[in-house]
Amino acid sequence: MARGNTRQRIQDVALELFAEQGYEKTSLREIAERLDVTKAALYYHFKTKEDILVGIFEDLTRPMDELIAWAGEQPRTVETKREVVRRYQVALRAAAPLYRFMQENQATVRELSVGLTFKERMVTLTGLLYDDDFPVKEKVRCISAVFTLHAGTFFMQNVEGDPEDKHEAVLEVALDLIDEAHRAS
């Protein structure tokens, strides 16, 4: 019935379940049942369970890696950093389920040899936002900017208001933190 898209469908369902219940608690049986295929079919498309996750990562973290690569090539100006923040928010929204999964399953992700881990990626990213000679407090502000963006994706559901307005507000706070950090340095 469905054609060559089974591989994709597996990844979609898997990510959904991984994000909802965690990686360890999600069994291949569950994924297979949801897709109405047998477990063995999953093994036609992926070598192992971990492989399914790795595949998802490879597809979904590319934007963030590209962002990091792009930032590395730009002049280290405030404006660059503001742009990094803007683009990071976009990347975050695009891959929200994956980031939710990454954040909530760090113990699992840590053991996966899946390129850079969540934390490593964040270390690199935050490193792009401040300079080595910043005072500690201003480094903290830059880190805070990134965490604010994360909070915006995972936590702001609990605040009432129009989603677009909230995203706008989150972005402004993050940019303010970057600005303030540079003003004080």
Partner DNA sequence: AATGAATGAGACTTCATTCAT
Partner DNA sequence: AATGAATGAAGTCTCATTCAT
Closest by Cα among 124, 131, 149, 130 to 67:
124
| Separation CA 63–CA 112 (nearest Å) | 20
Q: How far is the CB of 77 from its own copies (least distance, A)?
A: 22
| Separation CA 24–CA 136 (nearest Å) | 38
Residue 73 to residues 70, 80, 146: CA-CA distances in angstroms?
A: 5, 10, 20
Name the segment binding its own copies (CB under 8 A); options: 6-14, 30-38, 79-87, 136-144.
Answer: 136-144
Considering the complex, state which of residue 53 and residue 143 has its C-beta at the smaller distance from its own copies.
143
Amino acid sitting at position 162: D
Contacts of 71 (CB under 8 A, 6+ apart): 80, 84, 125, 128
Q: How far is the CB of 66 from DNA (least distance, A)?
A: 28
Mask for 40-79, x = binds its own copies (CB under 8 A): ----------------------------------------
Q: Which residues bind its own copies (CB under 8 A)?
A: 19-22, 24-25, 103-108, 111, 119, 122-123, 126, 135-137, 139-141, 143-144, 147-148, 150-152, 155-156, 158-159, 161, 165-166, 169-170, 172-173, 177
